[in-house]
Amino acid sequence: MSRHEQQGQMKSIRTRIFVVVGVVLLFLIGVLIGYFSRGDTSSNHRNTATWDRLTREPDIQIRDKLKDNIDVENLRQQLREFTKSSRLAGTPRQKETAEYVSNLWKEYGLESEVVTYNVLLSYPEQGENTTITVFYNDGSQHIIYAEEPPLGDDPGGFAVRPFNAYSPARKVQGKLVYANYARDSDFEKLVEQNIDVTGSIVIARYSKGFRGNKLKQAQDRGALGIILYSDPADYIGIPDPPVYPDTWWLPGPGVQRGNVVTVKGDQTTPGLPSTWYAHRLNDSQLRDSLPKIPCQPISYNDARILLSTLGGNVVPAEWKGALNTTYRFGPSQVRRITLDVRNVNELREIHNVIGRIPGSVEPDRQVLLGNHRDAWVYGAYDPTSGTTVLMELARIFGKLYREGWKPRRSIVFCSWDAEEYGLVGSYEWVEENLKKLTSQAVSYLNIDSAITGNYTLDVRTVPLLRNLIYDTAKVVPDPFQPTKTLFDTWLERNPETTEPTRPRVEKIGAGSDHSPFIAGAGVPATYPRMYGTGANYTSRGTPLYHTRYETFQAYTMVDPDFTVAKTMAAFVGELARSLGDSVIIPMDVEVYAKEVRDSVSHLSEIRSRFPTGAMWLDGLQSASKNFSKAAMEFHTSLKKIDRKNPILVRMMNDKIMSVERAFIYAEGLPDRPRYKHVLHSPSGMNYYGGSDFPGLEDLLYKIGTNTGRWDQVKQHISVLTYCIQTAASILQ
Ligand SMILES: *[C@@H]1O[C@H](CO)[C@@H](O)[C@H](O)[C@H]1NC(C)=O
Ligand SMILES: *[C@@H]1O[C@H](CO)[C@@H](O)[C@H](O)[C@H]1NC(C)=O
Ligand SMILES: *[C@@H]1O[C@H](CO)[C@@H](O)[C@H](O)[C@H]1NC(C)=O
Ligand SMILES: *[C@@H]1O[C@H](CO)[C@@H](O)[C@H](O)[C@H]1NC(C)=O
Ligand SMILES: *[C@@H]1O[C@H](CO)[C@@H](O)[C@H](O)[C@H]1NC(C)=O
Ligand SMILES: *[C@@H]1O[C@H](CO)[C@@H](O)[C@H](O)[C@H]1NC(C)=O
Ligand SMILES: [Zn+2]
């Protein structure tokens, strides 16, 4: 062939290609026109199979299959496996359990990976003892060691001595003063009593608030150190009962461990993931951000010895515990008391496990459910009661997936490490994936300590998920009364005080791995648990919390047949299925708007306490009204949309998903920049709790005539107004 002929041929090939491409394009345009202009007539040209696949309604039989597949023997076996040794973060055992979980998840059919970070952890110094010494006036002394003897079915092996993580190593000496629960109001009471804690060591009881806030209160008021203990009044529900190992009540030598940091995540990389490239704070910066006074937990046996050194006035009834001693304010009447804490901080590796079932229609949309895997010692309740539920759900979801069920959205299973050190594993992962989660995460379900009792549900949640939680509880049977649903017994035993026609839900607060999701990324979250026994014990936790006695045996005292665990698996599994497979994300924006409206009207009730007129509240009311209106209109239009139109469905879902993000303010709360959710961040006074407007609560506290602070209040109210108005405009 000559060059000329070749060119001629090329030309004609090109022409033919153009014609073919043109025809194909025209055809595609036709298809697209048909696609988007489609009415209800079936005469339009469209790819019916694709269309149907994108908008198919969930297979409701999966709900029963999920429930029917839960196997109590698996739940029992997993609890036994995890509690056979201690699982302290940063130890070799925790690397092993990560591999165990990841391998099992792969076997179950999930995509799974171990994600490792290098973070600052805290331990009792090896070969040294933390001690508290009482020097009596007669020259004798009594030394209290940090120890907790094994009892019951303790599996033996390594068990970390009782300590408070991140307490500095320091020796202090002084008089002892009793501060009840070491809340702000308790210290105010001491001031009334003319007792100055400056230069003293404080002894206070656990319960009614996060221990890190107790330390901070004592530190801010000039105390030299703080000793925490669990009083029988708070950890035993009935007078003089048999205790562990015969029952689940806290025994004399039991000590609650726990961290005392109020800023969570890895302490060396605030706001950034602790990856290999991370810049870390230096030692002097760390000293500034970590607690400054030593803190140590002890048992009530040991506390009785310390409390009986106290002189001064007898305390009022609300300050009295149940030990056989006269509770006095102090100060101590002995020569002196020393507190010598020997802890060390070390960088160590932690290991999260992330398992995934890919969504079939919207694989980029993620429904996450997770629980931490590390424990202070054996952690049968905290976290393992939740971990067994998570493992069983991974198995069942994996099984259904392999049998052909494909959820609409991706379902992501998370096993966090180092939660006990301040939500470290989850924080680092959320920080690393923040932008992705912001655009892709539908919700996060936290199943830490899923079973701390056997009486009724305790649910912390954001308002968006409230109705879904109610609906889900209505299709799960009560563990012990099969004719009733979980909803029935929840309503009966734990109704909302202001609205007794519905079961009680609490503000989400912090205190477990949902915190980085909701307070940092604006991902709607919930944290459901079973708690209580119904007999004189109203605490949401277990009396053995964070002691060495959270053993397999202790768990079976509450749930011998694993029926409570089975119930929680059914409940959480159905929540995940529903969020992962419903065409329209089952969240209720009207509930959110109503909650905001109520909070704003509570605020308006105290308007008279604000300086002259407080005009700035008008904007807040206007935004709240706009949010309510937008939510109502959105709700109405949601009922009317064509559920067979995948673009419309995705559009509505994106709006639902984005509402929570409206409340994330990049600069964070006033003086607490790492908490970015203006409504669902923890309260500044108690890290475990929530409040209507956590930033305002901090600012208004003891504000008086502090004009500078009133200006901050005004500024923060405009932030709130802006966020609420943003929520309204997202829905419009
Ligand atoms: C620590 O205390 C134990 C008793 O609990 C004692 O046997 C040991 O010698 C002590 N170690 C040091 C370094 O004082
Ligand atoms: C529960 O408390 C009440 C009142 O304090 C007491 O009379 C009752 O005996 C207690 N129940 C148990 C099981 O101890
Ligand atoms: C730690 O970092 C701060 C801030 O960069 C710096 O001012 C300080 O000198 C550093 N201290 C040490 C001991 O390196
Ligand atoms: C309480 O302590 C006192 C004095 O130590 C003792 O006599 C009494 O028996 C104790 N009571 C109980 C119930 O243990
Ligand atoms: C619930 O837990 C309590 C405390 O251990 C126990 O006494 C009770 O028997 C349990 N109830 C059931 C139904 O297992
Ligand atoms: C609420 O909506 C009205 C009407 O669109 C608007 O004029 C007003 O500025 C909005 N309020 C706020 C706080 O943006
Ligand atoms: Zn936990």
445, 393 in Cβ contact below 8 A?
A: no
What the block records as the tokens of 613 is 């007129």
Q: Whose Cα sits closest to atom 3 in ligand 2?
A: 536
**pLDDT (average), residues 11-30:** 54
Q: Which residue has the higher pLDDT, 104 or 602?
A: 104
- Pick the ligand that lies closest to the CA of residue 237: 2
Q: Whose Cα sits closest to atom 10 in ligand 5?
A: 558
585 C-alpha to center of ligand 7: Å?
28
CB-ligand 2 contact for 535 (6 Å cutoff): yes
- Please tell me the total number of residues recorded for the chain in this structure: 732
Comparing CA positions, the residue from 108, 104, 122 lying closest to residue 421 is 122
pLDDT at position 541 is 86
388 C-alpha to center of ligand 5: Å?
19
Reported as a single tens digit per residue, the pLDDT across 382-436 is: 999 999 999 999 999 999 999 999 999 999 999 999 999 999 999 999 999 999 9
Reported as a single tens digit per residue, the pLDDT across 434-448 is: 999 999 999 999 999
Task: Measure the N-to-C terminal CA separation of the chain; round to a whole number of Å.
Answer: 67
User: What distances in angstroms separate CA 447 from CA 262, 404, 524, one per listed residue?
Assistant: 22, 26, 14
Q: Whose Cα sits closest to atom 4 in ligand 3?
A: 285
What the block records as the tokens of 595 is 């909650």
* Residue 250: CB atoms within 10 Å: 25
Task: Please report where in the chains the tokens 């202090």 appear, as a residue.
Answer: 172
- Give CA–CA dist 211/260, Å, rounded: 6
10 C-alpha to center of ligand 7: Å?
71
Nearest-atom number in ligand 5 for the CA of 454 is: 1
332 C-alpha to center of ligand 4: Å?
21
User: What distances in angstroms separate CA 176 from CA 129, 188, 328, one per listed residue?
Assistant: 21, 17, 11
- Give CA–CA dist 298/310, Å, rounded: 17
- Tell me which of 279, 280, 282, 288 to substitute to probe ligand 3's pocket, judged by most ligand atoms within 8 Å of the beta carbon: 282
| pLDDT of 710 strictly over 70 | yes
Reported as a single tens digit per residue, the pLDDT across 489-527 is: 999 999 999 899 999 999 998 889 999 999 999 999 999
447, 368 in Cβ contact below 8 A?
A: no
- Give CA–CA dist 566/562, Å, rounded: 6
- Give CA–CA dist 336/210, Å, rounded: 28
pLDDT at position 422 is 97
CB-ligand 2 contact for 240 (6 Å cutoff): no
**What percentage of the chain's residues is helix, strand, coil (to nearest 5)?**
45, 15, 40
252, 299 in Cβ contact below 8 A?
A: yes
Percent of the chain predicted with pLDDT > 90: 83
CB-ligand 6 contact for 623 (6 Å cutoff): yes
CB-ligand 5 contact for 343 (6 Å cutoff): no
238 C-alpha to center of ligand 2: Å?
6
Q: Whose Cα sits closest to atom 4 in ligand 1?
A: 145
CB-ligand 5 contact for 544 (6 Å cutoff): no
- Give CA–CA dist 172/339, Å, rounded: 5
Average pLDDT, the chain: 92
User: What distances in angstroms separate CA 274 from CA 290, 415, 522, one per listed residue?
Assistant: 17, 17, 21
User: What distances in angstroms separate CA 620 from CA 616, 658, 698, one per listed residue?
Assistant: 7, 20, 18
Comparing CA positions, the residue from 144, 127, 124 lying closest to residue 337 is 144
pTM (predicted TM-score): 0.92
282 C-alpha to center of ligand 3: Å?
6
CB-ligand 6 contact for 624 (6 Å cutoff): no
| pLDDT of 2 strictly over 60 | no
pLDDT-based confidence at 34, cuts 50/70/90? very low
Nearest-atom number in ligand 1 for the CA of 145 is: 5
Nearest-atom number in ligand 5 for the CA of 558 is: 2
Comparing CA positions, the residue from 385, 349, 399 lying closest to residue 105 is 399
- Pick the ligand that lies closest to the CA of residue 514: 7
Q: Whose Cα sits closest to atom 8 in ligand 5?
A: 558
- Give CA–CA dist 452/544, Å, rounded: 10
CB-ligand 2 contact for 538 (6 Å cutoff): no
CB-ligand 5 contact for 248 (6 Å cutoff): yes
259, 166 in Cβ contact below 8 A?
A: yes
**pLDDT (average), residues 146-153:** 97
Comparing CA positions, the residue from 228, 288, 223, 221 lying closest to residue 259 is 228
Reported as a single tens digit per residue, the pLDDT across 91-123 is: 999 999 999 999 999 999 999 999 999 999 999
Reported as a single tens digit per residue, the pLDDT across 617-650 is: 899 999 999 999 999 999 999 999 999 999 999 9
pLDDT at position 5 is 45
pLDDT-based confidence at 682, cuts 50/70/90? confident
- Give CA–CA dist 109/122, Å, rounded: 36
pLDDT at position 47 is 67
Q: Whose Cα sits closest to atom 10 in ligand 1?
A: 129
Reported as a single tens digit per residue, the pLDDT across 563-577 is: 999 999 999 999 999
Burial 211-243 (b: 16+ CB within 10 A, else e): bbbbbbbbbebebbbbbbbbbbebbbbeeeeeb
User: What distances in angstroms separate CA 681 from CA 522, 621, 676, one per listed residue?
Assistant: 10, 21, 7
Please give the DSSP secondary-structure letter assigned to residue 520: I
Nearest-atom number in ligand 6 for the CA of 625 is: 1
pLDDT at position 706 is 75
Q: What region does 194 belong to: left with phi over 0, alpha with psi -120 to 50, or beta?
A: left
268 C-alpha to center of ligand 3: Å?
13
pLDDT at position 4 is 46
What the block records as the tokens of 425 is 């594993």
